[in-house]
Structure 1
Amino acid sequence: MRFIVLGLVCFSVLAASADQDLRQTFKDWKVTFDKIYGGGLRNELARFRQFKKSAQTIEYINSIQSDWVAGFTLFADMTDEEKAAFTGINKNDTALESNLEIDPSPLDPTNPEKQYWDMGPAKNQWACGSCWAFAAIGAIEGMHLKEHGEFRDFSEQTLLDCTFEDIGRDGCNGGWSDTAISFAGSESPISKSNDYGYLPLRKDNPYKGNDRECTELKTPHSNGLRRAKPYAHLARYRTRNDAGLQHALATEGPVVVYIYSSWALPFYTTGTYRGTGCGTNPTTNHAVVAAGYEKDYWYVKNSWGSLWGYSGYVYFSRGWENLCSISSSRKTIEWRPNENWEICTDTHPSERTPCDSSANLNQEVCQARGCCYDSNYAGTAAQCFIKGKVTIYDDEGKRRVLYASAEEFSQFEFSYYGKAAQVEIGSWKLFVEDDYYGDYKIIKPEDGKVTFDFQSVQILN
């Protein structure tokens, strides 16, 4: 009996120690994800109990496979119902073309072995079923960058408020990305132009995480989508399978895909996700953007924030056909450029350079296209500006691309995202004087031309 009692005591001590370690993990995790709970101690304990359940789930996932690593993500204190609010596809099977092939077929030999499309930073839809709006915006941003060399941070809130306004749908209860793309482009009730669609920039209509009245039908914001009119297509190729998705990515650009987000995906941190919990051809519930591929995986942009996965991205395995239904319900974008776009008048107001028309000076296009300036001015008066493109690589060689202005770069936490960084010429932003921000310098010599000088650096955590 003594040995039994001693064994129980030892077990209790070990359990208490493990519980204490988990409490410290919970404390550190709350700081990382800026979790502050209302409701006093009762709610704090309830969240810790859920965190403890997530710890068991994470341990289980990591025990049954080694291809990817589950960890304490932003979902670690959430119930299943709360996690479900971070999806939001209302799937409409009748919208799919029933005669499209869904069985595996050979890859097109003309497609490159790998393809990546530069994208903007991953954003967070929060507890609003607006993944459909974020996927639509992500694909439009990627296409705008591909076609025009400019990254534009478009507003998800506009799509959330306005896409389903006529039928009274609460956008946080779900929707469809192709409908959202059509609202912004081919069927825009706001632009009413044959040349371009309508979307404001995010800074003009920031994301609020809830559905609101579409006031833009009466009072639109300044239009950031004047360079093109996007058209959504259910599938421009006759295969709703991996071969068709690869061909779309190889030839078109970033593609909206509807996937099944299983109980395991929210805990993804690193590695190649192999569909834990997906089963075979499950019904889709979440919209994301396929932004590229290599032989073994799809490169996918999610809408759960930059602290999830690889800075908001996940690598989906290509080891199984149509993993988590990623290939069977995709939406490509036909990008029709505005042939009448004027560089000095159709850029967003915040990016235009004012010229002194009263002085009768000549207005010319900047070398870094995207704004105009008065060529008769020199020095600081030659107001042509620039944004930069940062490509960051982590320890495993995975990359993350960010487009931002100098001010935004100065706030960027390089140490969190990766070990090494490199800047290339990207899009454009107003800037007046020489300035240093972190590890790079913007130089504007006497001729008024802007160059971007950056030293590759080793970022230390």
Structure 2
Amino acid sequence: MRFYIVLELVCLAALTAKADKDLRQVFKDWKVQFNKNYGGGLRNELARFRQFKKSAQTIEYINSIQSDWVAGFTLFADMTDEEKAAFTGLKLNDTALESNLEIDPSPLDPTDPEKQYWDMGPVKNQWSCGSCWAFAAVGAMEGRHLKEHGEFRDFSEQTLLDCTFEGRRDGCTGGWSELAINWAGTDSKISHSKLYGYLPIRKDNKYRWSDGECTDLKKPYNNALRRAKPLAYLASYRSRNDAGLQHALATEGPVEVDIYSSWALPFYTTGTYRGDGCGTNPTPNHAVVVAGYEKDYWYVKNSWGSWGYSGYAYFSRGWENLCSISARRKTIEWWPSSEWKICTDTHPSERTPCDSSANLNQEVCQARGCCYDSNYAGTAAQCFIKGKVTIYDDEGKRRVLYASAEEFSQFEFSYYGKAAQVEIGSWKLFVEDDYYGDYKIIKPEDGKVTFDFQSVQILNN
């Protein structure tokens, strides 16, 4: 009898050793994928691997109890619970929370479309600074600016991080998205104009994942919010349910919401997240943007880099107020300026320089504030500003990227999805896909595209 027990223990040890060896290879490949380079020598490496093993057990458990979504080795796989918590950062005033967050479902508005998606700016990463509130504020304002004005503005999260709570608190320890939006729209000294708010674009004040001095007040950057003044506030009690969130998405644009990020959410990769670990009406700890919806899910933009569907997640609508997603949505009022001038108020980075070697006149504006050669026969047609890429992944789900033609010239379409549609000015490129057979295929062998920058026309639409 003792012989068989010893044999079982030996076999178990052998299986454990093999599993550890296999997991070490997974860990090695994962470090390359996420560019993980640990300091502190072998001891730190072993500590991270032990945490990776814990994550492997959590991932296996999640995938064993449900099949709606897939948990995997994400950016967070080697992090402790405290380190993962640093990627959230929403602060709530407990006295401002209603004692009863039970919000009764109500009928959907029959005038709402069956589905709605809003074009959004690029997904970004807040890293280990609790600045989700600033990223959600920027994401909502970028999406709203696109909706209202048809132009993408890459706003600066760093400005909101530096300035919203200047002299009062460290923004990396958390904050409130509505205060950030209101600082940009009405509360800062720079945005006191009756005509427009203040928020520079990102390249003027790049993200440094730490709260610094609000230098904007001393020497303002180029103002990218001259088109409007935003104002944000908590939605009314009656609309704080899934029906209210859908109607806001259908009529207002992308919506900033506060959610509860549970122990399971950091491991989300694909599928429709069903709120594992959220419980019933938990207190929110994270700010995100809902960028669209369909009958069965919300389309959620996060601030954790390439996590999930290239930065997005699909939250199930099978449960009312899943992870508190509709209980604390923010309403953004967008007050357009009637005196915005495209020639003088367009940011310099969005004006295409003309060919100076031709020694011809250079002028700014016409269609959308880009620079053109006034002596050229095409006049205002020889320039470009921003373009967009629509990507469809293996499941036919969609996301949109906005950037300049230069940034898209070496874009790896094949890496991001099965299908891609590029629109820059009047030029359109359709990459081969399995979902939309009518696409015209203009695809180089390596999946990259080179644009002739000075021949892309801006359409006035």
Assess if the C-alpha contact under 8 Å between 1:196 and 1:229 holds in 2.
yes
Distance 2:56 2:169 in 1: 37
Structure 1 partner of 2:221: 221
For structure 1, the 5+ residue unaligned runs are 429-435, 453-461
Amino acid at match of 2:403: A
SS at match of 1:400: strand
Structure 1 partner of 2:434: none
SS at match of 2:420: strand
Distance 1:449 1:131 in 2: 36
Amino acid at match of 1:87: T
Shift of 1:380: 10
Structure 1 partner of 2:166: 165
Amino acid at match of 1:123: K
Structure 1 partner of 2:83: 82
Structure 2 partner of 1:68: 69
- Structure 1 segment 356-375 matched on structure 2, within 5 A: 365-367=365-367, 369-375=368-374
Distance 1:323 1:101 in 2: 12
Amino acid at match of 1:398: K
- Structure 1 segment 326-337 matched on structure 2, within 5 A: 326-337=325-336
- Structure 1 segment 237-256 matched on structure 2, within 5 A: 238-256=238-256
Change (3 A) 1:362 1:202: closer
Amino acid at match of 2:331: T
Distance 1:133 1:317 in 2: 25
Amino acid at match of 2:234: L
SS at match of 1:51: helix
Distance 1:340 1:5 in 2: 84
Structure 1 partner of 2:281: 281
Amino acid at match of 1:423: V
1:230 aligned onto 2:230: yes
Structure 2 partner of 1:35: 36
Structure 2 partner of 1:92: 93
Change (3 A) 1:58 1:99: closer
For structure 2, the 5+ residue unaligned runs are 428-443
Distance 2:458 2:179 in 1: 41
Instruction: Tell me how many residue pairs correspond in the alignment.
Output: 438
Structure 1 partner of 2:209: 209
Shift of 1:387: 2.2
Amino acid at match of 1:64: I
Structure 1 partner of 2:440: none
Distance 1:74 1:321 in 2: 29
TM-score w.r.t. the length of structure 1 is: 0.89
Structure 2 partner of 1:455: none
Change (3 A) 1:342 1:99: farther
- Structure 1 segment 388-399 matched on structure 2, within 5 A: 388-399=387-398
* Residue range with higher mean Cα deviation, 413-422 or 251-260: 413-422
TM-score w.r.t. the length of structure 2 is: 0.89
Assess if the C-alpha contact under 8 Å between 2:424 and 2:456 holds in 1.
no
Amino acid at match of 2:146: L
Shift of 1:374: 4.5
Structure 2 partner of 1:109: 110
Shift of 1:43: 0.3
CA deviation profile, 1:316-368 (whole Å, cap 9, x unmatched): 00000000000000112111111101111000122236799xx997957444x
Distance 1:340 1:98 in 2: 45
SS at match of 2:331: strand
Shift of 1:426: 6.6
Structure 2 partner of 1:320: 319
Structure 1 partner of 2:199: 199
SS at match of 1:334: strand
Shift of 1:249: 0.5
Distance 2:208 2:80 in 1: 22
Shift of 1:370: 3.3
Distance 1:334 1:380 in 2: 38
Shift of 1:381: 10
Q: Which one has a larger percent helix, Structure 1 or Structure 2?
A: 2
Assess if the C-alpha contact under 8 Å between 2:388 and 2:402 holds in 1.
yes
1:407 aligned onto 2:414: no
Change (3 A) 1:241 1:7: same
Distance 1:30 1:49 in 2: 14
* Residue range with higher mean Cα deviation, 130-139 or 90-99: 90-99
Assess if the C-alpha contact under 8 Å between 1:90 and 1:175 holds in 2.
yes
1:450 aligned onto 2:449: no
Change (3 A) 1:348 1:305: same
CA RMSD of aligned residues (A): 2.7
1:156 aligned onto 2:157: yes
